[in-house]
Amino acid sequence: MKLIIGLGNPGVKYLKNRHNVGHMFIDFVNKNSQILNTKYQILKTSCYMNQSGGFVQSTLNSRGLSPSEIVVVHDDLDIPFGKFKLQFATGPKIHNGIISIEQTLDTNEFWRLRFGIDNRPSSAKASEGETYVLQDFTSEEKEAVKNVFIEAVKQLTINN
């Protein structure tokens, strides 16, 4: 793994959305983790989530990297809030940014750092996920996200 790419949407409107947890993680690393910054190149997408494939492909081409050398950081409704998974070529069931990357690269063989964002009550789980992911984290959730980021940094440091 050589490059970490945080997925998100550009613009102030999306800055604190659950869907932008990939961008938030990159910001956190840039402010708090010199160790991780020396092991990886780190960057955020500059496109909308659904167009992530073109961004990732262009980045790989310009840096001479293969898909297996990247970690794509993104939100995941399949994982409960406060949890994360670092996996190769796995998950989530549906995520437009990941679908775009897999289709553009014609492979699913890249690392994913999947941050769980599902904090909905059971009764609301059947509601539209797209609406939920575009809502901002609550203040309590923002604090909890920082703790999850710390654990994810440790995991990335171990797996490098």
Average pLDDT value for the chain: 90
Is the previous residue joined to 80 through a cis bond, with omega within 30 degrees of 0? no
**Cβ contacts of residue 95 below 8 Å, gap of 6+?**
74, 75, 76
Give yes or no: 95 in active site: no
Predicted TM-score of the model (pTM): 0.92
How many Cβ atoms from other residues are within 10 Å of residue 45's Cβ?
27
- Check: CB of residue 31 under 8 Å from CB of residue 46: no
More confident residue, 139 or 160: 139
Residue 65 has pLDDT above 70, yes or no: yes
List the Cα angle 58/116/107 in 5-degree steps: 35
pLDDT at 34: 75
- pLDDT higher than 60, residue 150: yes
Between β-strands 70-80 and 3-6, what pairing exists: parallel, antiparallel or unpaired? parallel
How many domains are there within the chain? 1
Residue 77: domain span: 3-159
Which residues, in sequence order, are bridge partners of residue 90?
A: none
Supply the CATH number for residue 99's domain: 3.40.50.1470
pLDDT band for 121, please (50, 70, 90 cuts): low
7-48 pLDDT per residue, tens: 999 999 999 999 999 999 999 999 987 777 678 889 999 999
Q: Is the pLDDT of residue 126 over 60?
A: no
Compute the distance between CA of residue 108 and CA of residue 29 in angstroms, rounded to an integer.
25
